[in-house]
């Protein structure tokens, strides 16, 4: 049987929120009688090209009956989408006895909210993300403008060549996100970032050549409040990099901007924790992505000098992972290193997965070693949190602590659930302290998380779980 539509339900009767574009048609059913409530049956989302089949396909009627019940006359419907197909749907739905309600034509992607208990519908067009490009290279300005123009949800509202012109451009253009080159005349991008953020709380994404020379600049920018970084594109790399650039800029719009404060990040007084009662035979595994370098720094610098071994996957390019590990090693009294194939996993050591590779662990009679390989990306990531977590989930040992920090996407969620089911104690960073509440949210949604904690409490949570 042809499946004409996807069903979206909301069993608690609260707001159901969906995004619709021109290729889809939302059919929202609302009871004619106020005494009826559609709490577990709410919205159908059909492909617009189904309209040509409606008059001849009896299966569509059967699926409606399965969805709403036999007495379709108790319901009115509203159509949201491409108005060119409205007449076909009106004709078909009238034959089925449904009552015609409002129609809402849309040209671009729109967000609609349906409140089943109230029979109320709210539509709003998705606003484009306004992007200001700051780069002294005319070639890069043109390339980034081109990349942004190819997405209907993004708009390059302006480009700026010199740092001194940026404040005026911000005031005039009101961007949602700024892309900022590192190497420019007048001042470097990190210095400009530090000048901008105290006045303008706008998410800034750094543009980097991803060279070893840029590593410390990028890490300093992230420490100073940049939300992410993207690779400076060349014409030949554009087909591969363009989708990633657009995705990162879209996510940056909704990222939280945290200005660096060495003493605290959320009003909670910080202190280096003691190692009393910590069972050193535990193994700790952590995954993170966007905002993760600062979150990890926050956690590691609060841990005591004596710690169980920690393995970390941070989504990071190959040229930056060693720079990040070396930076952490200078701040901590235990050893932090970029993991190498064959490393023995021992106490008072933190092992950070090398960028561009996959990292997993092996357990041979209680002797744990690092395995670095060139396996394919998992969840589009290399290194991948799930790849690491899955390797640990098969261990017979039960003294495991694992968690997910800030980051976009869902990498690590399924692996964390496997670890929890294997007896691990699990945690996730909370929304208020996450730069992007993506990976922790997905882990929580599937039941993989024992505790949701503010970043200031992650180190304490880990130590308590190891006691």
Is pLDDT above 90 for 337? Answer: yes
Please tell me the predicted confidence (pLDDT) of residue 333: 93
Question: Domain ends where: 64, 90, 125?
Answer: 125
Sequence-distant (≥ 6) Cβ neighbours of residue 291 within 8 angstroms: 222, 227, 228, 255, 258, 405, 406, 407, 434, 435, 436
Mind listing the pLDDT tens digit for each residue in 101-126? 778 787 666 777 766 666 666 776 66
Q: Are 305 and 447 within one domain?
A: yes
Question: Domain ends where: 69, 104, 125?
Answer: 125
Across the chain, mean pLDDT equals 85
Is pLDDT above 70 for 417? Answer: yes
Angle at 203 between CA 198 and CA 227, to 5 degrees: 100
Mind listing the pLDDT tens digit for each residue in 361-387? 999 988 999 999 999 999 999 999 999
Residue 453 or residue 40, greater confidence: 453
Residue 190 or residue 26, greater confidence: 190
Q: Are 351 and 330 within one domain?
A: yes
In a domain, 267, yes or no: no
In a domain, 116, yes or no: yes
Please tell me the predicted confidence (pLDDT) of residue 441: 95
Please tell me the predicted confidence (pLDDT) of residue 213: 80
Distance (Å, whole) CA 110 – CA 124: 6
Q: Are 378 and 460 within one domain?
A: yes
The alpha carbons of the chain give a radius of gyration, in whole angstroms, of 26
Please tell me the predicted confidence (pLDDT) of residue 79: 80
Distance (Å, whole) CA 253 – CA 175: 10
How many domains does one find in the chain? 3
Average pLDDT over every residue of 283-305: 96
In a domain, 232, yes or no: yes
Instruction: Identify the band that residue 41 occupies on the pLDDT scale cut at 50, 70 and 90.
Output: very low
Please tell me the predicted confidence (pLDDT) of residue 242: 92
Q: Are 106 and 133 within one domain?
A: no
The pTM for the full model equals 0.74
Question: Domain ends where: 125, 151, 175?
Answer: 125
Residue 40 or residue 252, greater confidence: 252
In the sheet with 400-404, reading across from the earlier edge strand, the strands are 335-338, 349-352, 310-314, 283-288, 400-404, 425-429, 451-453
Please tell me the predicted confidence (pLDDT) of residue 269: 43
Any catalytic annotation for residue 289? yes
Instruction: Identify the band that residue 268 occupies on the pLDDT scale cut at 50, 70 and 90.
Output: very low
Distance (Å, whole) CA 157 – CA 87: 38
User: Considering 289, 384, 391, 434, which one is annotated as catalytic?
Assistant: 289
Q: Reduce the secondary structure of the chain to three states and give it as a string.
A: CCCCEEEECCCCCCCEEEEECCCEEEEEEEECCCCCCCCCCCEEEEEHHHHHHCCCCHHHHHHHHHHHCCCHHHEEEEEEECHHHHHHHHHHHHHCCCEEEEEEECCCCEEEEEECCCCEEEEEECCCEEEEEECCCHHHHHHHHHHHHCCCCEEEEEEECCHHHHHHHHHHHCCCEEEEECCCCCCCHHHHHHHHCCCCCCCEEEEECCCHHHHHHHHHHHHCCCCEEEECCCCCCHHHHHHHHHHHHHHHHCCCCCCCCCCCCCCCCCCCCCCCCCCCCCEEEEEECCCHHHHHHHHHCCCCCCCCCEEEEECCCHHHHHHHHHHHHHHCCCEEEECCCCCECCCCEEEECCCCCEEEEEEECCEEEEEEECCCCECCECCCHHHHHHHHHCCCCCCEEEEECCECCCCCHHHHHHHHHCCCEEEEECCCCCCCECHHHHHHHCCCCCEEECHHHHHHHHHHHCC
In a domain, 273, yes or no: no
Mind listing the pLDDT tens digit for each residue in 351-362? 999 999 999 999
Is pLDDT above 80 for 283? Answer: yes
In a domain, 268, yes or no: no
**CB atoms near residue 427 (< 10 Å):** 25
Query: Are 289 and 440 a contacting pair, CB within 8 Å?
Result: no
Any catalytic annotation for residue 315? yes
CATH code of the domain in which 177 resides: 3.40.50.2300
Sequence-distant (≥ 6) Cβ neighbours of residue 139 within 8 angstroms: none
Let me know if 123 is exposed, middle or buried by CB neighbors in 10 A (0-12, 13-18, 19+): middle
Residue 235 or residue 385, greater confidence: 385
Instruction: Identify the band that residue 1 occupies on the pLDDT scale cut at 50, 70 and 90.
Output: very low
Q: Are 301 and 330 within one domain?
A: yes
For residue 381, give both structure tokens. 């990531």
CATH code of the domain in which 307 resides: 3.40.50.180
Which pairs from 52-55 meet CB under 8 Å and 24+ separation? 52/88, 53/2, 53/4, 54/88, 54/89, 54/91, 54/92, 55/88, 55/91, 55/92
Q: Are 413 and 427 within one domain?
A: yes
Q: Are 137 and 96 within one domain?
A: no
Q: Are 158 and 96 within one domain?
A: no
Query: Are 42 and 12 a contacting pair, CB within 8 Å?
Result: no
Residue 368 or residue 61, greater confidence: 368
Is pLDDT above 60 for 42? Answer: no
- CA distance from start to end of the chain: 56
Is pLDDT above 80 for 267? Answer: no
Q: Are 121 and 205 within one domain?
A: no
Instruction: Identify the band that residue 290 occupies on the pLDDT scale cut at 50, 70 and 90.
Output: very high
Residue 396 or residue 157, greater confidence: 157
Instruction: Identify the band that residue 4 occupies on the pLDDT scale cut at 50, 70 and 90.
Output: low
Of 69-78, 158-167, 195-204, where does mean pLDDT reach its minimum? 69-78
Please tell me the predicted confidence (pLDDT) of residue 116: 63
Instruction: Identify the band that residue 238 occupies on the pLDDT scale cut at 50, 70 and 90.
Output: confident
User: Considering 214, 411, 430, 450, which one is annotated as catalytic?
Assistant: 411
In a domain, 259, yes or no: no
Q: Are 209 and 153 within one domain?
A: yes
Please tell me the predicted confidence (pLDDT) of residue 199: 93
Is pLDDT above 90 for 174? Answer: yes
In a domain, 272, yes or no: no
Angle at 182 between CA 179 and CA 187, to 5 degrees: 110
Distance (Å, whole) CA 189 – CA 183: 6
Q: Are 327 and 191 within one domain?
A: no
User: Considering 228, 288, 298, 315, which one is annotated as catalytic?
Assistant: 315
Query: Are 22 and 73 a contacting pair, CB within 8 Å?
Result: no
Q: Are 114 and 135 within one domain?
A: no
Any catalytic annotation for residue 411? yes
Which residue range forms the structural domain that includes residue 67?
5-125
Is pLDDT above 90 for 23? Answer: no
Query: Are 284 and 310 a contacting pair, CB within 8 Å?
Result: yes
In a domain, 262, yes or no: no
Please tell me the predicted confidence (pLDDT) of residue 40: 38
**Percentage of residues in the chain with pLDDT exceeding 90?**
60
Residue 51 or residue 218, greater confidence: 218
Is pLDDT above 90 for 64? Answer: no
Angle at 465 between CA 460 and CA 467, to 5 degrees: 95
Average pLDDT over every residue of 174-203: 95
Q: How far is CA 45 from CA 5, 17, 52, 112, 464, in A?
A: 5, 12, 16, 12, 47
């Amino acid at each position: 049987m042809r499946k004409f539509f996807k069903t979206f339900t909301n069993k608690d009767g609260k707001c159901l929120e969906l995004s619709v574009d021109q290729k889809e048609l939302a059919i929202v059913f609302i009871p004619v009688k106020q005494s009826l409530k559609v709490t577990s049956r709410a919205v159908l989302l059909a492909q617009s090209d189904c309209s040509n089949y409606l008059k001849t396909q009896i299966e569509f009627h059967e699926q409606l009956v399965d969805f709403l019940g036999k007495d379709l006359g108790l319901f009115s419907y509203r159509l949201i989408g491409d108005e060119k197909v409205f007449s076909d749907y009106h004709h078909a739905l009238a034959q089925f006895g449904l009552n015609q309600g409002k129609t809402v034509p849309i040209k671009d992607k729109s967000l609609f909210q349906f409140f089943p208990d109230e029979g109320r519908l709210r539509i709003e067009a998705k606003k484009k993300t306004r992007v200001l490009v700051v780069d002294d290279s005319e070639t890069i300005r043109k390339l980034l403008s081109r990349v942004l123009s190819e997405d209907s949800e993004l708009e390059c509202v302006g480009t700026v060549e010199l740092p001194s012109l940026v404040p005026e451009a911000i005031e005039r253009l009101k961007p949602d996100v700024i892309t900022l080159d590192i190497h420019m005349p007048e001042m470097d991008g990190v210095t400009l970032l530090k000048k901008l953020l105290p006045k303008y709380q706008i998410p800034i994404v750094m543009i980097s050549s991803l060279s070893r020379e840029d590593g410390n600049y990028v890490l300093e920018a992230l420490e100073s409040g940049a939300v992410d970084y993207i690779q400076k594109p060349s014409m030949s790399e554009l087909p591969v990099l363009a989708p990633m650039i657009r995705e990162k800029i879209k996510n940056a719009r909704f990222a939280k901007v945290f200005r660096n404060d060495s003493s605290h990040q959320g009003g909670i007084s910080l202190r280096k924790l003691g190692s009393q009662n910590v069972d050193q035979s535990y193994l700790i595994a952590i995954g993170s992505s966007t905002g993760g370098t600062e979150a990890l720094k926050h956690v590691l610098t609060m841990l005591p000098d004596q710690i169980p071994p920690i393995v970390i996957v941070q989504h990071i390019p190959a040229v930056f992972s060693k720079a990040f590990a070396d930076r952490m090693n200078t701040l901590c009294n235990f050893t932090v290193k970029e993991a190498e194939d064959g490393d023995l996993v021992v106490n008072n050591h933190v092992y950070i997965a090398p960028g561009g590779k996959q990292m997993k662990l092996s357990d041979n009679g209680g002797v744990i070693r690092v395995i670095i390989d060139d396996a394919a990306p998992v969840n589009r990531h290399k290194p991948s949190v799930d790849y690491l977590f899955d390797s640990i989930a098969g261990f017979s040992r039960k003294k495991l602590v694992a968690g997910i920090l800030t980051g976009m996407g869902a990498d690590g969620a399924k692996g964390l659930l496997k670890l929890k089911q294997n007896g691990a104690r699990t945690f996730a960073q909370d929304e208020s302290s996450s730069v992007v509440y993506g990976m922790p949210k997905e882990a929580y949604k599937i039941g993989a998380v024992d505790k949701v904690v503010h970043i200031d409490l992650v180190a304490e949570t880990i130590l308590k779980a190891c006691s």
